[in-house]
Amino acid sequence: MSQRKTSRNGSHATPGWVPGWALGPILFALAVWLHASGLLTPIPHAATPPFDHAALSTAPRRQILGDPPTLKINDFDRTCMDCHKIFKTPTDKPRPLNQHKNIHMDHGPNVKCSTCHDWDDRNRLVRPDGVSIPFTKVVDQCGQCHVRIRYDWGYGIHGRTNGYWDPKSGPQERRICTECHDPHNPKSPAMDPISPLPGPHTLRLTNPHGEHDQ
Amino acid sequence: MSSSEPKLDRRSFFRASLGAVGGLAALAAALEPLKDFDRSDLTLDQFLQKHYKEMSAEDMQKVLDRIEKEVEKRYDVRPEIKDVKPRDGVEFVYALNLGACIGCRRCVHACVAENNQSRDPEIQYIRVLEMPRGSIDIEEGNHHYERPKVPSPDHFYMPIQCQQCENPPCVKVCPVEATWQEPDGLTVIDYDWCIGCRYCEAACPYWARRFNFTEPSIPKDDLNPNMSYLSNRPRKQGVMEKCHFCLHRTREGRMPACLEVCPVGARKFGNIRDPESEVSKILKNKHVFVLKQEVGTHPRFFYYFDEDYGPAIHGEGR
Amino acid sequence: MKEYLRFLGRCFALSFIGDWRYRLWMLILTVIALVGLHSWSEQLVHGLITTGMTDQVSWGLYIANFTFLVGVAAAAAMMVIPVYIYHREELHDLVIFGELLAVAAIIMCLLFVTVDLGRPDRFMHILWRFNFPISMLAWDVIVLNVYLLLNLHICGYLIWCVYRKRKPSRVFFIPFVFIASVWAISIHTVTAFLYVGLGGRPFWNAAIIAPRFIASAFAAGPAIMILTLQVIRHYTRIKVLPGALAMLRRIVTVSLAINMFLLGSELFTEFYTQSAHVVSAKYLYFGLDGYSALVPWIWVSVFLDSLALLILFTPGARTVRWLNISCAMMIVGIWIEKGMGLIIPGFVPTPLGEIVEYKPTLNETLICLGIWAFGALIYTILVRVTVPVLTGRLTFDKDLPMDVADSPEPALIEKESLT
């Protein structure tokens, strides 16, 4: 509207402190200032700090044992019985172990190895009712005591289900007990604490004194 | 008032011209920033694009081809953009076990990666609140907790995202029907129809909606090329977005990204119309609740507490 | 038709003619409007990140000003009610200035909504898919635009008839005046319902907001008219009878008193109950968790409103000076209370309890100032054109008055008491 207004103003010079001829130059000055001023408000940035994207893996937290459980020793796959056939365990009493030193045993009343491990076939587990089962069926083992959780797990209420919610569209991966929990030391909380990923860094976050939080 | 002759003399003509030119110059200078406007955003095709619900299959194919080209030009990645339709007999429901959640925020960042949210400024669909034990009032939650390890024994954690309400206030308020509820219960947004008035953002009782205050920025390498029209294709400046339960995944039978990454199995997702689904079992067997029931939104996102023995039971001494 | 185009052309020409004060005023407004336009261009390019708004506080100064101006627009036309219902003839010739103000205010409202949009280029989407009658914003678009058309029709028709030296036909005039005065209530009610309808925002989700909107509008709108009419009286030959200002003063006093009463009721409900919903009010009046950006503003507003009401209750308000002071205080007070004081606390804390404060940026403030300047420019031009027509100096058979002798005879400028 500016050019409209000024186009006629000139024709009616009147005394006063804005003579008509000044309008043009004032608007020119404005044009120059607008051209030079640019963006008057700096654009704030709010980016998430870098973090290790490996944390976004969907893999289970623990490695589980197969049937029979195998372990690479000197590039050869060994099963439990490869050793236990030769080296007999002296006694079933709870005691500091010479082998398997990484195991920290703290599982309530279960203090003996033979409570869960098949004494005769170390490639297998043994249920409290005496039935020998493979490691892959550990759910039946745990479920003997943790009955309610076993039911929930059966319905999919407890535990992780990955892959497809619709079994007709693709495979469902049900995580079993030992893929999350350490059977020798099922602490509370039931898994090891982990580092959280960065919190929100939205625009214009300030603390009560108006300073930017970082 | 001295010279009031109606005809222009040479001097006043000069003054008038000077004023007019000065005015035009000022106007031009005022509009000058517009020369930096992203013109790729203002093509005739985009201008004439129809509302999602009015597009025929051919229209949609044309639009998808065009968007694919636009994305490729911008991110150097040829995406595959689909228009995944809802399935019959499916209604999605989410259930979240607050007893299990440890507040690790992996869902937040998996969602960002899956759904191509802006990294700067940061846009995230999921907020995880650290709640003091003894309260369920979300006003008490801490959004900005930073600790070396979670969970803290004195807190529990409550992730909040779009609740996919059965009675969504955001849909009600949108003046141009740019957001609506699909037959499978997902409230979606046509990013090419939204006018950016942010009324839906004000209406949402769960603070689930996000606005692109500027052109979103996503590193080219991080772009997820598996896209769909209503979900994770890159958004433009000035439009709304929000969680859509990863519909490009879930409508193909897969689990949403936030669930896949959850290390503790606190997140459960499925079809509530299937009585055998995990979520149906949870709703039948567990004591669930919804957030802000009093606002009458009927969320499809349920919370429950299950199987968590706090520090009082499993203390250090045990 | 040809005659009408000529009329428009002459009005257009007339808007460039004035004495130096007029030109200085117009120049200042033009400069501010252009600076605002520049800032808007920047905003269009970079996005709303140039404003202080965030996902947490997603509406700010734009919507605050919009809300205030809807009230001004509604109340300006309310001058019609005493004229035609109570036959207050002293206001009769002045109604048109109220309706012109409504026109300018609605244009400003529409501009404020436009600059608030993230994608103004898609604005015409409301023509293809319009969520009516479900969305309150759709209602608002309709009522505001119809109200604009109604007032344009009333003013335009009246001025055109006087210009053509015809007597306005009652059929084309009176019904529209009544519709407009009822419609005025609707625009403000619908705008209140915009906020009231949001169940997720307890601060707004209160039935009292709509009546408060009307009450505060009936205070601020006529207050602006009181100030405007005096400007018109001082600089033009339009006669503003003292009775007119007295009538407006009465409207303002009662409305402000009702507004303060409703405010008190609201504060009582919030603070006596102390339910979880009190947090926003707490943030507004006392600060929350150390965040207190709005506290000084709202107390200034409460102070100004109360003082204005006190002055209006005393005989002092019968002098023009004190009336003007109380009107100015009230306008500022209501602008704060109904703008920033209503919109921002609705977002603080967020529905998830997070507190992010809102502070308008320079860019955003300049856009607001630009729109205000543009609105003032429109109103000035409208008045500039209307005055010579109403005083009979500009009719279809007269030459364009090339001098600016619209100033009143000196005798009229003298200070008058309003009683």
3-state helix/strand/coil string of C56-80: CCCCCHHHHHHHHHHHHHHHHHCCH
Give the span between the Cα atoms of B232 and B225, in whole angstroms.
9
Dump pLDDT digits (tens) for C327-383. 999 999 999 999 999 999 999 999 999 999 999 999 999 999 999 999 999 999 999
C405 pLDDT exceeds 60? no
Residue A18 lies in a domain: no
Dump pLDDT digits (tens) for B160-188. 999 999 999 999 999 999 999 999 999 99
Chain A residue nearest residue C16, CA to CA: A5
Q: Of C31, C134, C353, which has the smallest distance from its Cβ to B139's Cβ?
A: C353
Are the beta carbons of B209 and B221 closer than 8 angstroms? no
DSSP string, A5-68: HHHHHGGG--SSSS-HHHHHHHHHHHHHHHHHH--SSPPP---PPP--GGGG--S-SS----SS
Dump pLDDT digits (tens) for A50-93. 999 999 999 998 888 888 888 888 888 889 898 898 888 888 88
| Amino acid sitting at position C17 | I
Give the span between the Cα atoms of B17 and A66, in whole angstroms.
91
Average pLDDT over residues C263-269: 94
Number of independent structural domains in chain A: 1
Average pLDDT over residues C391-405: 73
Contact residues, chain B, for C54 at CB < 8 Å: 213
What's the token pair of residue B185?
């219960």
How close is the nearest chain A Cα to the Cα of B80, in Å? 20
Give the span between the Cα atoms of C293 and C315, in whole angstroms.
37
Residue A176 lies in a domain: yes
Which of B198, B264, B272 should one mutate to test binding to chain A, selecting the residue with the greatest count of A CBs within 10 A? B264
C392 touches chain B (CB under 8 A): no
Are the beta carbons of B97 and B306 closer than 8 angstroms? yes
Are the beta carbons of B198 and C194 closer than 8 angstroms? no
Average pLDDT over residues C250-264: 94
Predicted local confidence at residue C349, as pLDDT:
93
How close is the nearest chain A Cα to the Cα of C363, in Å? 6
What's the token pair of residue C335?
């602008």
Residue A44 lies in a domain: no
Predicted local confidence at residue B317, as pLDDT:
36
Predicted local confidence at residue A6, as pLDDT:
39
In this prediction, residue A210 has a pLDDT band, given cuts at 50, 70 and 90, of: low
Give the span between the Cα atoms of C372 and C37, in whole angstroms.
12
Q: Do B265 and A158 touch (CB under 8 A)?
A: yes
How close is the nearest chain B Cα to the Cα of A113, in Å? 20
Give the span between the Cα atoms of B242 and B256, in whole angstroms.
14
In this prediction, residue C271 has a pLDDT band, given cuts at 50, 70 and 90, of: very high
Q: Mean pLDDT in chain C?
A: 89
Percent of chain A with pLDDT over 90: 36
Dump pLDDT digits (tens) for C75-110. 877 777 777 777 777 777 788 898 999 999 999 999
Residue A175 lies in a domain: yes
Q: Do A189 and B127 touch (CB under 8 A)?
A: no
Dump pLDDT digits (tens) for C241-256. 888 888 889 989 999 9
Chain A neighbours (≥3 Cβ pairs under 8 A) are: B, C
Which of A26, A148, A165 should one mutate to test binding to chain B, selecting the residue with the greatest count of B CBs within 10 A? A165
Percent of chain A with pLDDT over 70: 86
Chain C neighbours (≥3 Cβ pairs under 8 A) are: A, B
Which residues is C132 bridged to in the sheet?
Answer: none
Which of B112, B122, B286 should one mutate to test binding to chain A, selecting the residue with the greatest count of A CBs within 10 A? B122
Predicted local confidence at residue B67, as pLDDT:
95
Which of B17, B213, B236, B291 should one mutate to test binding to chain C, selecting the residue with the greatest count of C CBs within 10 A? B213
Average pLDDT over residues C156-180: 87
Q: Which of residues 24-43 of B touch A (CB under 8 A)?
A: 24-30, 32-33
Contact residues, chain A, for B10 at CB < 8 Å: none
Q: Do C292 and A37 touch (CB under 8 A)?
A: no
Q: Do B238 and C118 touch (CB under 8 A)?
A: yes
Average pLDDT over residues C270-277: 90
In this prediction, residue A12 has a pLDDT band, given cuts at 50, 70 and 90, of: very low
CA–chain centroid gap for C211, Å, is: 17
Q: Where are the domains of chain C?
A: 2-121+151-396
Q: Of A27, A44, A163, which has the smallest distance from its Cβ to B25's Cβ?
A: A27
Q: Mean pLDDT in chain A?
A: 83
Predicted local confidence at residue C412, as pLDDT:
39
C408 pLDDT exceeds 60? no
Predicted local confidence at residue B313, as pLDDT:
43
Predicted local confidence at residue A20, as pLDDT:
67
**What's the domain range around A163?**
64-90+105-180
Contact residues, chain A, for B113 at CB < 8 Å: 53, 56
Are the beta carbons of C408 and C234 closer than 8 angstroms? yes
Contact residues, chain A, for C52 at CB < 8 Å: 204
How close is the nearest chain A Cα to the Cα of C287, in Å? 10
Give the span between the Cα atoms of A28 and A40, in whole angstroms.
20
Give the span between the Cα atoms of C375 and C369, in whole angstroms.
10
Fold (topology level) of B105-244? Alpha-Beta Plaits (3.30.70)
How close is the nearest chain C Cα to the Cα of B27, in Å? 7
Q: Which residue has the tokens 């222009």?
A: B8
Predicted local confidence at residue B197, as pLDDT:
96
Percent of chain C with pLDDT over 70: 95
Residue B285 CB neighbour total at 10 angstroms: 14
Contact residues, chain B, for C141 at CB < 8 Å: 175
Residues of A with CB under 8 A from a CB of C: 1-2, 4-9, 12, 14-20, 23, 26-27, 30, 34, 37, 39-41, 43-44, 202-210
Predicted local confidence at residue A10, as pLDDT:
40
Q: Of A4, A20, A203, which has the smallest distance from its Cβ to C54's Cβ?
A: A203
Which of C17, C39, C62, C125 should one mutate to test binding to chain B, selecting the residue with the greatest count of B CBs within 10 A? C125
C138 touches chain B (CB under 8 A): yes
Q: Where are the domains of chain B?
A: 105-244
Predicted local confidence at residue C417, as pLDDT:
39
Average pLDDT over residues A14-20: 51
Chain A residue nearest residue C362, CA to CA: A41
Give the span between the Cα atoms of C57 and B112, in whole angstroms.
22
In terms of Cα–Cα distance, which of A191, C84, A133, C329 is closest to B149?
A191
Residue C278 CB neighbour total at 10 angstroms: 19
In this prediction, residue C309 has a pLDDT band, given cuts at 50, 70 and 90, of: very high
Predicted local confidence at residue B6, as pLDDT:
47
Q: Which of residues 110-149 of B touch A (CB under 8 A)?
A: 110, 112-113, 119-122, 124, 127, 143-149
Q: Mean pLDDT in chain B?
A: 91
Contact residues, chain A, for B104 at CB < 8 Å: 194-197
Give the span between the Cα atoms of C157 and C169, in whole angstroms.
9
Q: B10-19, B43-52, B199-208: which range is least confident on average?
A: B10-19
Count CA atoms within 13 Å of residue B181 on its CB side. Answer: 20
In this prediction, residue A209 has a pLDDT band, given cuts at 50, 70 and 90, of: low
CA angle B18, B20, B23 (to 5 degrees): 105
Predicted local confidence at residue A3, as pLDDT:
37
Q: Which of residues 211-270 of C touch B (CB under 8 A)?
A: none
Average pLDDT over residues A85-102: 85
A17 pLDDT exceeds 80? no
Are the beta carbons of A160 and B285 closer than 8 angstroms? no
Q: Of B139, B177, B195, which has the smallest distance from its Cβ to C123's Cβ?
A: B195
C230 pLDDT exceeds 60? yes
- Cα separations in angstroms, C42 against B29, B30, B37, C119, C367: 11, 9, 9, 14, 10
Following CA atoms C85, C90, C91, C94 in sequence, which dihedral angle do they give, to the nearest 10 degrees?
Answer: 150
Residue C87, phi-psi category: left (phi > 0), alpha (psi -120 to 50), beta (remainder): left
B315 pLDDT exceeds 60? no
**Which are the contacts of C252, defined by CB distance < 8 A and separation ≥ 6?**
C218, C219, C222, C223, C226, C312, C327, C330
The answer to whether the bond into B33 is cis (omega within 30° of 0) is no
A8 pLDDT exceeds 60? no
Dump pLDDT digits (tens) for B121-150. 999 999 999 999 999 999 899 999 999 999
Chain B residue nearest residue C278, CA to CA: B139
What's the token pair of residue C310?
């006190």
Predicted local confidence at residue C416, as pLDDT:
40
Predicted local confidence at residue B46, as pLDDT:
87
Chain B neighbours (≥3 Cβ pairs under 8 A) are: A, C
In this prediction, residue B283 has a pLDDT band, given cuts at 50, 70 and 90, of: very high
